[in-house]
Chain A
Amino acid sequence: MSAGRFRDLLAAEWIKLWSLRSTAWLIGAGTLAIVAFAAQSSLDTYQSWPGFTAMEKAMFNPLDEAFSGVSASLLMIGAGSLGALTIVGEYATGLMRFTLVAVPARHRVVAAKLTVVAVVTLAAGAIISAGTFAVSQAVLSGRGVAVSPGDPGVLRVLAANALLAPVAALTGMGIGALLRHTAAAVVTVCAALVIVPSFFQPTVHQWLNDLYALVPLYVWRTCLGLSELRDNPALPTVAGSWAAFALWPLAAAVVTLIVVRRRDV
């Protein structure tokens, strides 16, 4: 029998995600807000550019106008909450019981959920990354200070910007599976992904630097999000940073799988 193919489970999760109005609102409004933020910030710079000192002009980073630390934080909180809600929403309402009666193989349900959330947030992240870049560089090219995707490091930054969304979303799902409570999950997502890492600064203690180098937002801020890397042993390496980006969603996927399989519903 063809019933219960993985494709069917993906379809079910897809319908569940998009049949909630909050999904379209969150993704639509979030994307618009971050792109509008890039436009506003670039226009600001465009207007005040003639008044910049030579020093300011030399230090100017056009990618910062497109996608700043604030944008990164907003994107991670939005995507992390979306990931958390896809699983908390099922547990908190009891819908998980219906879902598991329909598909008793829990690992398949989790795999489908992870896949759909990863794909949707990666797409949203890519649109935001490309959109903010296009808008800001179009404005800044008027002053001749724009960069193009072909310039060194730019593609890496764009990829890292886009990947922040699925990294945060899958981590959020793991937190949601553990806590199964809406408010607690969203608060924990904000704290773990954004608030706590924003206090991290490179220090003289290398063990602390190594610890920080495991945190997505920190490695984005100090490495992956910069087109020109500073050569400093206190800062994370590019390879290490990509590993940190992979580590969190993988760990979260494993946690989600174990928790959902073991717990009574």
Chain B
Amino acid sequence: MIEVNGLTKRYGAVTAVHDLTFTVRPGHVTGFLGPNGAGKSTTLRMILGLNRPTAGAATIDGRPFARHRAGLRHVGALLDAADVHGGRSAAAHLRALAAGNGLPRRRVSEVLEEVGLAAVARRRIGGFSLGMRQRLGIAAALLGDPPVLMFDEPINGLDPEGVRWVRGLFRRLAAEGRTVLVSSHLMSEMENTADRLVVIGRGELIAEESLAAFAARGAGASVTVRTPDPAELAAVLALEGATVRTDGGDALTVTGVDASRIGELAHQRRIMLHALAPRAASLEEAFMELTADRADHQADVRTGVRPDRRAEALAGGAR
């Protein structure tokens, strides 16, 4: 179990994390979500005692992490897959970590086998792709068979097969009764992995609840309509009590009236429709809505680039 209590980190005048309190329970995969720059990595580093909090405290299984002697037996953490020395082989990197915690050598070959790097164990890490480094970082996290695991953006750089594998791994670790915390700036990564969510924006807690409860916060179902006569249709729908958003072109996003009723109304008023597409409420939208005003790197609205796409591009560019 990870308990975070009033955690705050200030760098000069900048507050990276502000009075954060949440609990991560065993037996679940908990998603740790927030836009880039929200303070996720800083929070994880404070939990691990790597960064000293300005205020507040965090405990792992009831103790501050720095009190543990053999850290890997209590927590497995992948903070940044790039945190390795490129001159060492994968096996030597893990062997050094294992030796420091008095773990037997066979654990190294076991975890390399588990993450699918056994064949390249003797190769130098410098030649590894990002995906291979992510796997190596996951191997290091698993080394001490710990009850608590934390992964910072583990999906970055993995191929589709790797993404599927890692999701299965997280779920299995949680099913074994471990505490699993997985951070991401993309909601879509959480949809098929996490049962619970901790969402932050600009260093502050936005939500701490189940995935279902979080999804319910978002805008309800909507319908996208395309028509050559958007102004008239919008007026008709407004009379019906619908909320209508226009993109300035021929498309309308309608909430409050379902697709069949929109079709009926359009038929009665002889308004031609080119498209009529119902859309279910999505986690992505709930996330966007809640974090929109708290994203650090907002995309310019006029460019039409959604902030999450921009964030994705930024994350890609930073690698």
Contact = CB atoms under 8 A, between A and B. Distances in A.
A187 interface: no
Interface in A68-109: 89-90, 93-105
B88 A5 contact: no
Interface stretch (B66-74, B219-227, B249-257): B66-74
B65, B77, B84, B88 pick with most chain A CB within 10 angstroms: B88
Interface in B127-146: 140
B84 A102 contact: no
A22 B87 contact: yes
A94 B78 CA distance: 12
B82 A94 contact: yes
B82 A9 contact: no
Interface string A95-128: 1111111111100000000000000000000000
Contacts of B210: none
Interface residues of A, number: 33
Contacts of B99: 8, 11-12, 15
A265 B83 CA distance: 11
B77 A101 contact: yes
Majority-rule SS of A interface residues: helix
Contact of B101 (A15, A20, A22, A102): A102
B168 interface: no
A101 B75 contact: yes
Given A100-B50, A264-B52, A12 B100 contact: yes
B92 interface: yes
Contacts of B51: 264-265
Which bucket holds chain B's interface residue count? 35 or more
B102 A104 contact: no
B80 A101 contact: no
B79 interface: yes
B85 A103 contact: no
Contact of B85 (A5, A89, A101, A102): A89
A99, A104, A105 pick with most chain B CB within 10 angstroms: A104
A98 B101 contact: no
A21 interface: yes
A2 B102 contact: yes
A226 to B, nearest CB: 40
A4 B69 contact: yes
B85 A12 contact: no
Nearest to A109: B100
Interface in A4-33: 4-5, 8-9, 11-13, 15-16, 19-22
Contacts of B79: 97-98, 101
A115 B48 CA distance: 26
A12 B97 contact: yes
Given A8-B102, A94-B83, A104 B96 contact: no
Contacts of A204: none
A239 interface: no
Contacts of A3: 69-70, 73, 101-103
Nearest to A96: B83
B176 to A, nearest CB: 21
B71 A19 contact: no
Contact of B50 (A13, A22, A90, A265): A265
A9 B100 contact: yes
A2 B89 CA distance: 27
A105 B69 contact: yes
Interface of A: 1-5, 8-9, 11-13, 15-16, 19-22, 89-90, 93-105, 264-265
27 contacts: A1-B69, A1-B70, A3-B70, A4-B69, A4-B70, A8-B99, A12-B100, A16-B88, A19-B93, A20-B85, A20-B88, A93-B82, A93-B84, A94-B80, A94-B84, A95-B83, A95-B84, A97-B50, A98-B79, A99-B97, A102-B72, A102-B101, A103-B100, A104-B48, A104-B65, A104-B71, A265-B50
